[in-house]
Structure 1
Amino acid sequence: MSSVQPISTVPIQKIKAGPLPDRYARGWHCLGLTEKYKDGKAHSIQAFGTKLVAFKGEDGNVSILDGYCPHMGADLSLGCVEGNTVTCAFHHWRWGSDGACKAIPYARRIPPKARLKSWPVVEQNKLLFVWNDPEGNAPDPTVAIPRIAACFSDKWTDWKIEEWKINTNVRELVDNLADMAHFGPVHGQKIDYFANVFDGHVGYQMARGGHETLSDGELVADDAYFGPAYHITRMCANVGGNILNSILLNCHVPIDQDHFILRFGVIVEKNPALSDAENEAVADNYITLTQNAFHQDVEIWDSKTRVDNPVLCDGDGPVYQLREWYSQFYTDAAEVKKSPRNVFEWRREVGTWSQREDIPPEAVSDLDKI
């Protein structure tokens, strides 16, 4: 006769997931290579729960407007670019880069309300960025995208960028910044040293250790989120007996609260001892390896659930502190509290996390120059 097992009295942790934010993060969002938008065509962009249209005017600048014509709702990306305007394919209303209607072919006057939103745009590192702010404020100059000198040097390859649609909220991606524990199970990476620094609008990650596929020895990776959505990694690895320096782009643009576009790109420093063809081959191979490694995360994000109350152990990183740092981008600018720099460290020889306020000596001295 089988016996009935007694019900455990140990409390069970139930996963909690509150409502998703009713806004999208304040800050610069990367839309990929600038040249993509300079072909003379109108480009459709699904972002921030709506549709935008991007186009290059005859002045050489890329403009981004709300993507639906306020006249009768047509998709402006179906129209054509004329001068510094985009012309609606439905009734040929012409919209300028400032969002104002410039001409209506069958009207004697333009209605005063004939205006749509013009989104702030900036070009940096050969990439195009659009500014989102739910309060409608202009871009904050103190959070400008930093220039990467390598992007303009013939000693480095050009960006190679892949785009993926990820079926979850963007927070799942950002959590990776503090998730040291996943590097071994997911990427086969042995971490010897790991640190997070949360300093104003910038969130850093520093990792040192081996990697099964990306390095034959120690892999050094210094990462930084500059704002909510633009993430750069400077990486140094030993590949085939040669030191290989690379810079990784990891940026996202929310389509809506349950989907985002992830752009993952790489540039590689050329080896002066190799020919251009050989450098391209090395770069292509390493770019494929890094993209494959990143896609290991994507496979998990696409199927996991959102957890607002994760059960953490003493070996986990500062996940809650990361989320607190990230919440500033969803808070009205006037209500963002200035917090002291927070540094969290983990060392293999110690096996525990510690907290400090100064930048650790293991970190490179010029993180701001990534």
Structure 2
Amino acid sequence: MTSLLHPIPMNHRSHMEGFPRGWYCLAESDQVIADTLLPVSWLNQEFIVYRTASGVAQAADAYCPHLGAHLASHDGCIVDGQIVCPFHKWRYDAQTGRCASIPYAKMVPPVKLKLYPTREINGMVVVWYHPTGEAPDHEPFNSAVLDQGTWVLYNRRDWTTTCPFRDILENLFDTAHIVQLHNATEMPDLGSIERTDHGLKVDYAIDPDKSDQPLKRLECQFSGISLLVQHYEFVGAEALFVFSFTPIDNERFVQTTRLYLLDSGDPGHLDRIGKPFVERFVYEVDQDMAILNFKKHLPQPRLCDGDGPILRFREYANEFYR
């Protein structure tokens, strides 16, 4: 007998194989420091993340193309803009990936370390993934508001989940569960849904005539189905949620949520906004995960007229699996 205390294999719950193309978070910006190789495991792969001599974040294959040593193992390092393999001390230019020198060879073969298209946005280092290795077909959304005024990273949380990957963001378009699971007083109105170069923009419809409504505006920007930025404007406050969804392997992925608050200069004011916001958010995510970790992705769900624009999101999500 199988208990729900244990994961149900993904091939029992989803017909989708592999990962959708898109931009995936490999590390937080503050984790990637100068002259250091950061080893990470995502997308069934091993990467190293580092900064070039000019300070630009870059992701590369973790294994030396010579004989397969992990470049961040033993005394592998990055020195003077070159990655030094711990095994035979081959050196690779950190910016181009080209082999620059071999201490015991007279001729340097045209060997190159595999580099991945990498961007640094919204406090994250993200890498482009395509199942067949094709170049990026869009850029990730980079919120300009973080460059306007002073923002404080108030909270950062991680959840490791066994939800079918494409269902995690579909959950936002399932408006009925906001009332039925989270006990909201009314279902949200997603308002306008607009296709963009980076993915999707959703503006929630907020009733300005409600005197007890502290939320004045909520805009969501999706980059593919792997990144999401939510911009909240309240009476007397402003907040930005930055979400990333990165698969570890075929069974699990990590949802990371970062809450930025516009600095008012008063720490007490930030706590009055941020603390209840985080507590409610964490409570609702935990509620979702208790179900999503075991749910099955149904290719043909039986929907009713109150379920929200789930099929519209699915049409959009399908693009990234082609």
Query: In which range does the TM-score fall when normalised by the shorter chain?
Result: 0.7 to 0.9
Give 1:154 deviation, angstroms.
4.0
Q: 1:100/1:268 Cα in 2 relative to 1: closer, same or farther (>3 Å)?
A: same
Alpha-carbon distance between aligned partners in 2 of 1:17 and 1:33, rounded to the nearest angstrom:
31
Question: Which one of 69, 75, 79 corresponds to residue 64 of structure 2?
Answer: 69
- TM-score norm. by structure 1 comes to 0.72
Question: Which one of 164, 169, 173 corresponds to residue 169 of structure 1?
Answer: 164
**1:279-337 C-alpha deviation (Å, 9 max, x unpaired):** 44335414532344333323322222332222211211222221121111122xxxxxx
Q: The residue matched to 2:248 in structure 1 has which SS?
A: strand
Question: Which one of 6, 16, 21 corresponds to residue 20 of structure 1?
Answer: 16
Residue 104 of structure 1 aligns with an amino acid whose one-letter code is: I
1:282 aligned residue: 272
Alpha-carbon distance between aligned partners in 1 of 2:262 and 2:112, rounded to the nearest angstrom:
46
Question: Which one of 180, 184, 199 corresponds to residue 195 of structure 2?
Answer: 199
Residue 277 of structure 1 aligns with an amino acid whose one-letter code is: P
Q: The residue matched to 2:108 in structure 1 has which SS?
A: coil
Give 1:171 deviation, angstroms.
0.7
Q: Please tell me whether the aligned partners of residues 169 and 257 of structure 1 are also in contact (alpha carbons under 8 angstroms).
A: no
2:9 aligned residue: none
Residue 88 of structure 1 aligns with an amino acid whose one-letter code is: C
Give 1:54 deviation, angstroms.
0.5
Alpha-carbon distance between aligned partners in 2 of 1:182 and 1:293, rounded to the nearest angstrom:
11
Q: 1:18/1:228 Cα in 2 relative to 1: closer, same or farther (>3 Å)?
A: closer
Give 1:32 deviation, angstroms.
4.5
Question: Which one of 128, 132, 140 corresponds to residue 129 of structure 2?
Answer: 132
Question: Which one of 98, 101, 118 corresponds to residue 100 of structure 1?
Answer: 98
2:119 aligned residue: 122
Give 1:132 deviation, angstroms.
1.7
Within 5 Å, give how 1:1-370 maps onto structure 2. 19-22=15-18, 24-78=19-73, 79-97=76-94, 98-112=96-110, 114-140=111-137, 143-158=138-153, 160-189=155-184, 190-191=186-187, 193-195=189-191, 197-200=193-196, 201-207=198-204, 217=213, 219=215, 220-237=217-234, 243-271=236-264, 275-282=265-272, 284-286=274-276, 288-289=278-279, 290-331=281-322
Q: The residue matched to 1:138 in structure 2 has which SS?
A: coil
Alpha-carbon distance between aligned partners in 1 of 2:155 and 2:57, rounded to the nearest angstrom:
21
Q: Please tell me whether the aligned partners of residues 84 and 90 of structure 2 are also in contact (alpha carbons under 8 angstroms).
A: yes
Alpha-carbon distance between aligned partners in 2 of 1:17 and 1:285, rounded to the nearest angstrom:
36
Alpha-carbon distance between aligned partners in 2 of 1:300 and 1:154, rounded to the nearest angstrom:
39
Q: Give ranges in structure 1 of 5+ residues lacking alignment.
A: 1-15, 211-215, 332-370
Q: Please tell me whether the aligned partners of residues 20 and 257 of structure 1 are also in contact (alpha carbons under 8 angstroms).
A: no
**1:194-224 C-alpha deviation (Å, 9 max, x unpaired):** 33625155223444579xxxxx745453222
Q: Please tell me whether the aligned partners of residues 48 and 255 of structure 1 are also in contact (alpha carbons under 8 angstroms).
A: yes
Alpha-carbon distance between aligned partners in 1 of 2:296 and 2:229, rounded to the nearest angstrom:
26
Percent identity, aligned pairs only, is 25
Alpha-carbon distance between aligned partners in 1 of 2:244 and 2:300, rounded to the nearest angstrom:
25
- TM-score norm. by structure 2 comes to 0.81
Q: Give ranges in structure 2 of 5+ residues lacking alignment.
A: 1-11
Q: Please tell me whether the aligned partners of residues 221 and 236 of structure 1 are also in contact (alpha carbons under 8 angstroms).
A: yes
Residue 327 of structure 1 aligns with an amino acid whose one-letter code is: N
Give 1:17 deviation, angstroms.
5.5
Residue 169 of structure 1 aligns with an amino acid whose one-letter code is: P
Alpha-carbon distance between aligned partners in 2 of 1:144 and 1:250, rounded to the nearest angstrom:
16
Alpha-carbon distance between aligned partners in 1 of 2:238 and 2:23, rounded to the nearest angstrom:
26
Q: Please tell me whether the aligned partners of residues 40 and 56 of structure 1 are also in contact (alpha carbons under 8 angstroms).
A: yes
Alpha-carbon distance between aligned partners in 2 of 1:107 and 1:67, rounded to the nearest angstrom:
23
- Number of residues of Structure 1 aligned to a counterpart in Structure 2: 300
Residue 20 of structure 1 aligns with an amino acid whose one-letter code is: M
